[in-house]
């Protein structure tokens, strides 16, 4: 890595730490309910309307039912808005109703915080759909993940089965958590961020799309239309293309900044525009790019401090944060040199790929010149370490090893900072597994934060860890073995397999980014990916809530001389090793068939 890349990484981590520390303290107050009285007075009518109370602590089953019902309702609402889009207001481009399979996929995608987009947003979704369906779910899906993390923190923090509580073993109130997280965390911080983005040049308006005259005539090919007005096809049924040219371009408008803010802060990732954060309307400057990268990790990093405060030992939060930071830095150290090395097939053609004052050098295919190699590589690792999926570069154009890094970061379970809430509770599940392994090695009952980890917790932990790899690998197998799955591949061979493997990895881990060479807006992929996204989200959340409930009902044991310290360097190393060995080994055969093979093919003659 160059000195500039090292400097950017160091600056990013320092600023992230400085911002996440105070935010983590504020979220700890939200978690505990220690809020100013005026906030309580604002909340009270909402709780009366919902028929609940902040004093009512739910059992894990009740919490799960509320969460699943809320999410199912979200799917229905988002689906309905898309299907009725053509009859609804705020549709200046007269967008028609979205197809049933795409509507289903998108509804599940945004409710599960995946934000996978198999469509072109500016050509598919009206302003109302973008705001009322998609942006609203950006808030709710992010709040849902944080609520689950809060519930697990309470499970660890409970002293003795919630003595004196009318509902022993309770882990909090889902409706109260959602209200407080949305009202006192996500909305205020998104408002500030949106104003900043507008100041940087991100669009925020309700204007109709603008037709402008370009400086040059653009030549392209389009489907040929016959005298009957129908597309002309050849003997194989493929559309016949004809040459065309134009000096016009349609520029999309819309309320972009408001959606961009929560898209990043909530680790959602679904862009208002198809080019996402590579588009100057969403991410116009180097400063906006840096702040967007900070916003992705801001809440996940802050939750580590919230965890330490919540369990009464701030060192525990620092240990989790340290493990995440080490894994993140290693990924950046791998991808940046891989992209700086460039493409060896271009050198014999006389292409200069060296860095200089006039060019960034390296593999600049699919990257924005205003960001360059370093910022693009860093953004790629950040967005796939978190469950964000926003992109400022084309992942399909990364080098084989460079493309393997974001794939691996998702396959680790997105516990390296991860999504809002999902990263923390995912890493805590690995922490439970780590202390169990350590307990087996030293021959004593494992404990974590004073709670015994017994067979019931380990069964739930196994389910939470294994459900995603099963979905990803089974989904990939189905896609590569069926004609409908293979039909979406635009690049044959190892890279085509990587496109499918990446798509299923992204869906199963609720990331939403894509290699983009795969044509996934088909009934086959829309349905397959929706199923994987749904169970990838809730197949992990339900076991996590069950673990939270089991821990909340356990007595918290005092620390003894035989207790394994879970806040020092030794535990950090053990946790990192557990994440790498357990989280990644499931995917090694797939990685070998895809990016590893492609790397050797690319560099075989060099």
pLDDT tens figures, 451-464:
999 999 999 999 99
In this predicted structure, the answer to whether residue 236 has a pLDDT above a threshold of 70 is no
Query: Which helix (H) or strand (E) segment is 471 a member of?
Result: helix 455-481
- Kindly state the percentage of the chain with pLDDT values over 70: 98
In this predicted structure, the answer to whether residue 542 has a pLDDT above a threshold of 60 is yes
Average pLDDT over residues 409-429: 95
Q: Please tell me the predicted confidence (pLDDT) of residue 163.
A: 45
CA–CA distance, 446 with 454 (Å, rounded to integer): 8
What tens digit of pLDDT does each residue of 335-376 get? 999 999 988 888 888 888 888 777 888 899 999 999 999 999
In this predicted structure, the answer to whether residue 64 has a pLDDT above a threshold of 80 is yes
What tens digit of pLDDT does each residue of 293-321 get? 999 999 999 999 999 999 999 999 999 99
Q: Please tell me the predicted confidence (pLDDT) of residue 605.
A: 58
Q: What are the sequence ranges of the domains in the chain?
A: 21-207+255-300
Average pLDDT over residues 564-590: 92
In this predicted structure, the answer to whether residue 389 has a pLDDT above a threshold of 60 is yes
What tens digit of pLDDT does each residue of 30-45 get? 999 999 999 999 999 9
In this predicted structure, the answer to whether residue 179 has a pLDDT above a threshold of 70 is yes
Query: For residue 499, which of 484, 519, 482 has the smallest C-alpha distance?
Result: 519
Average pLDDT over residues 190-202: 97
Q: What angle do CA 6, 495, 368 make, to 5 degrees?
A: 40
* Interior/surface letters 480-502, b for 16+ CB within 10 angstroms, e for the rest: beeeebeebbeeeebbbbbbbbb
To the nearest 10 degrees (0 to 180), the angle between helices 314-340 and 569-584 is 50
Q: Please tell me the predicted confidence (pLDDT) of residue 344.
A: 87
Q: Please tell me the predicted confidence (pLDDT) of residue 602.
A: 84
Q: Please tell me the predicted confidence (pLDDT) of residue 63.
A: 96
Query: What is the radius of gyration, based on Cα positions, of the chain?
Result: 24
What's the mean per-residue pLDDT of the chain? 92
Q: Please tell me the predicted confidence (pLDDT) of residue 165.
A: 46
Average pLDDT over residues 164-185: 83
Identify which has the larger pLDDT, 490 or 478: 478
Report DSSP letters for 40-76, one per residue: HHHHHHHHHHHT--TT-PPPHHHHHHHHHHHHHHHHH
Q: Please tell me the predicted confidence (pLDDT) of residue 164.
A: 44
- Say if residues 362 and 353 touch (Cβ distance below 8 Å): yes
Q: Please tell me the predicted confidence (pLDDT) of residue 35.
A: 94
What Cα–Cα distance (Å) separates residue 21 from each residue in 16, 25, 28, 381, 388? 9, 7, 11, 22, 21
Locate 41 and state its tokens: 């007075």
CA–CA distance, 419 with 509 (Å, rounded to integer): 10
In this predicted structure, the answer to whether residue 96 has a pLDDT above a threshold of 90 is yes
**Coil/strand/helix, residue 341:** coil
Q: How many separate helices (H) and strands (E) can be counted in the chain?
A: 22, 4
- Say if residues 522 and 487 touch (Cβ distance below 8 Å): yes
What tens digit of pLDDT does each residue of 133-165 get? 999 999 999 999 999 999 999 999 987 544 444
In this predicted structure, the answer to whether residue 90 has a pLDDT above a threshold of 60 is yes
Average pLDDT over residues 579-583: 92
Query: For residue 480, which of 454, 458, 511, 504 has the smallest C-alpha distance?
Result: 504
Q: What angle do CA 58, 457, 445 make, to 5 degrees?
A: 130
What Cα–Cα distance (Å) separates residue 152 from each residue in 23, 145, 268? 19, 11, 22
What tens digit of pLDDT does each residue of 239-277 get? 788 888 888 888 999 999 999 999 999 999 999 999 999
Q: Please tell me the predicted confidence (pLDDT) of residue 162.
A: 45
C-alpha torsion angle, residues 277, 281, 283, 285 (rounded to 10): 150
Using CB atoms within 10 Å of the CB of residue 429, give its burial: 0 to 12 exposed, 13 to 18 middle, 19+ buried. buried
Average pLDDT over residues 86-106: 95
Average pLDDT over residues 82-86: 96
Cα 101 to the center of its chain, rounded Å = 22
Q: Which of 183-192, 433-442, 515-524 has the highest mean pLDDT?
A: 183-192
Identify which has the larger pLDDT, 565 or 67: 67
The CB density around residue 97, as the number of other CB atoms within 10 Å, is 14
Please name the residue ranges forming H helices in 127-269: 127-128, 136-157, 174-181, 187-200, 256-265
What tens digit of pLDDT does each residue of 497-506 get? 999 999 999 9
Q: What is the pTM of this model?
A: 0.93
What tens digit of pLDDT does each residue of 2-25 get? 899 999 999 999 999 999 999 999
Contacts of 238 (CB under 8 A, 6+ apart): none
Q: Please tell me the predicted confidence (pLDDT) of residue 160.
A: 59
């Amino acid at each position: 890595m160059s000195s500039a890349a090292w400097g950017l990484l160091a600056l990013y981590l320092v600023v992230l730490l400085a911002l996440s520390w105070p935010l983590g303290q504020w979220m700890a107050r939200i978690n505990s309910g220690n809020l100013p009285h005026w906030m309580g007075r604002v909340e009270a009518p909402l709780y009366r309307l919902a028929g609940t109370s902040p004093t009512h602590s739910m059992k894990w089953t009740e919490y799960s039912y509320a969460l699943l019902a809320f999410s199912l309702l979200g799917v229905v609402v988002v689906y309905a808005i898309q299907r009725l889009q053509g009859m609804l207001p705020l549709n200046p481009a007269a967008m028609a109703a979205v197809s049933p399979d795409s509507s289903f996929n998108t509804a599940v995608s945004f409710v599960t915080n995946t934000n996978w987009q198999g469509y072109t947003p500016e050509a598919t979704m009206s302003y109302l759909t973008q705001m009322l369906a998609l942006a609203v779910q950006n808030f709710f899906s992010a709040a849902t993940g944080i609520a689950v993390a809060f519930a697990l923190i309470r499970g660890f923090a409970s002293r003795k089965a919630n003595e004196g509580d009318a509902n022993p073993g309770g882990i909090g109130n889902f409706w109260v958590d959602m209200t407080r997280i949305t009202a006192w965390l996500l909305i205020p911080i998104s408002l500030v961020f949106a104003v900043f983005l507008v100041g940087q040049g991100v669009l925020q308006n309700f204007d109709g799309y603008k037709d402008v005259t370009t400086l040059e005539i653009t030549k392209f090919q389009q489907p040929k239309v016959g005298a009957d007005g129908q597309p002309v096809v050849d003997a194989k049924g493929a559309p016949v293309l004809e040459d065309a040219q134009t000096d016009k371009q349609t520029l999309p408008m819309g309320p972009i900044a408001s959606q961009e803010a929560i898209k990043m802060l909530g680790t959602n990732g679904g862009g208002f525009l198809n080019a996402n954060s590579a588009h100057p309307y969403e991410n116009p400057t180097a400063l906006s790019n840096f702040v967007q990268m900070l916003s992705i990790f801001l809440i996940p990093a802050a939750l580590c401090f919230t965890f330490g405060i919540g369990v009464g030992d701030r060192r525990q939060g620092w240990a989790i944060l340290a493990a995440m930071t080490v894994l993140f830095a290693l990924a950046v150290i791998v991808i940046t040199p891989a992209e700086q090395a460039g493409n060896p097939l271009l050198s014999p053609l006389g292409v200069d790929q060296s860095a200089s004052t006039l060019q960034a050098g390296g593999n600049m295919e699919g990257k924005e010149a205003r960001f360059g190699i370093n910022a693009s590589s860093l953004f790629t690792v950040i967005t796939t370490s978190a469950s964000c999926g926003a992109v400022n570069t084309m992942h399909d154009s990364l080098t084989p090893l460079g493309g393997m890094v974001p794939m691996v970061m998702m396959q680790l379970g997105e516990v390296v900072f991860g999504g809002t809430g999902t990263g923390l509770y995912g890493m805590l599940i690995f922490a439970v597994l780590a202390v169990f392994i350590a307990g087996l090695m030293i021959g004593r009952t494992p404990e974590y934060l004073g709670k015994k980890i017994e067979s019931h917790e380990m069964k739930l932990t196994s389910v939470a860890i294994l459900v995603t790899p099963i979905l990803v690998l089974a989904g990939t197998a189905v896609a590569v073995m069926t004609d409908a799955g293979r039909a979406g591949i635009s690049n044959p061979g190892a890279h085509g397999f990587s496109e499918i493997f990446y798509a299923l990895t992204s869906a199963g881990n609720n990331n939403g980014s894509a290699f983009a060479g795969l044509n996934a807006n088909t009934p086959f992929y829309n349905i397959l990916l929706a199923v994987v996204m749904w169970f990838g989200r809730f197949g992990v959340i339900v076991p996590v809530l069950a673990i939270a409930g089991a821990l909340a009902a356990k007595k918290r044991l005092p620390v003894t001389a035989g207790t394994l310290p879970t806040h020092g360097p030794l535990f950090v190393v053990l946790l990192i090793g557990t994440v790498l060995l357990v989280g990644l080994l499931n995917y090694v055969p797939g990685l070998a068939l895809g990016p590893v093979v492609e790397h050797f093919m690319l560099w075989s003659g060099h």
